Amino acid sequence: MFGILNKNKEPKDMDILIRDIMKDMDANRSVDDIIRRSGADEKFVRRVLQIYVTHPGVDVYGIMERL
């Protein structure tokens, strides 16, 4: 699995990162809070959230296919 660097320069598997973003969205966290908590690039987080909101029932791998 390929990784993505967060602000701490630690590689994180994309599927784990997307899952964490989805969990934060389900927990009704704000977009800014999700960006801060994930440590990922703002554009990436916003794109994941956009896909998650506009495609009901999509899973982690469905989001990865659409990125």
Q: What is the mean pLDDT of residues 54-59?
A: 94
Unique residue bearing structure tokens 């990162």: 17
* pLDDT at 1 exceeding the cut of 80: no
Q: Is the pTM of this model over 0.85?
A: no
Residues 6+ apart with CB under 8 A from 23: none
Q: How far is CA 27 from CA 8, 10, 22, 67, in A?
A: 24, 25, 9, 23
pLDDT at position 7 is 54
Task: Quote the longest CA-to-CA distance of the chain.
Answer: 32
Unique residue bearing structure tokens 């908590």: 37
- Per-residue pLDDT of 4-50, as tens digits, reads 555 554 546 888 999 999 999 999 999 999 999 998 889 999 999 99
